[in-house]
Each structure stands twice: as structure tokens, then as C-alpha cells.
Amino acid sequence: AESVLRMPQLMSYAHISSSCYVEMPYVETTDEVWAATLVVSWRWHRRLPPNADSGFTPMSPEQLALLKDILCDEGAALQFVWVDFACCPQPGGKQQQLHMTEVMRSKLYYARAARMLALPSIV
């Protein structure tokens, strides 16, 4: 959560520094981690362009500001944040099938996390 609070925009998994996240497959996630996790459901502000560069983010500044406000309000209770675009690799080709297991499992993230935030579409 602290990394999200420091980000000027929420980047894709491929463009986030490894120092800003914890790599944790679902099967290795403990009940203690779930108890301190916020999952975010949201509608993309922009579509993914065919040649997305490292500066692309589908989350609007207003959506990110709202997410940060919620994290600040929660204090230390929420230590982890799961947002699909930022937490799931978005590969193409053969690599995509390898990562689809985690994507298909995402419904379990929503069920097990301590909190779920549904961010409104803000244009």
C-alpha cells in the first residue's frame, strides 16, 4: 500500500519497479496477508493502445486519488493492494497462457481479501 501512495500514476506490472511490489502467487498467500489486502475493482479510463509504452496507465488521476484517499483513511490496516492491471503480467503470445491461471483465479482474490473497493468510472 505504501508504494501505491507514492506513485504519481499506477503503471502496468511490466513497468513497476520490483522494489515497489511483493511477488506472491495465490497458493503462497497466507490468511494474514489476505487480512491486510485491499482488492480494487474498476473500469479502465482509457483502452490499452496497441503499442503501450512505459508511461501508459488506464487509471485516471481521479481514480488514483480516490484509491490513495481510501488507503490513507485505512492506515496500517491495509498493507497490500491488488489491482489487476498493476498486479498481473499482460503478456502476449505463448506467455499469455502461462499467466491466465492467475487471472482466472482473480475472483478468489475478491473473495478472500479483507476489503474490496469498487472505483467509479471517472472521466
Residues in the chain: 123
* pLDDT tens digits, 57-94: 778 889 899 999 999 998 889 999 988 776 666 655 55
Question: Structure pTM?
Answer: 0.77
Alpha-carbon distance 87 to 89, whole Å? 7
Nine-digit cell string for 68: 490513495
Q: Where residue 103 falls among pLDDT bands split at 50, 70, 90?
A: low
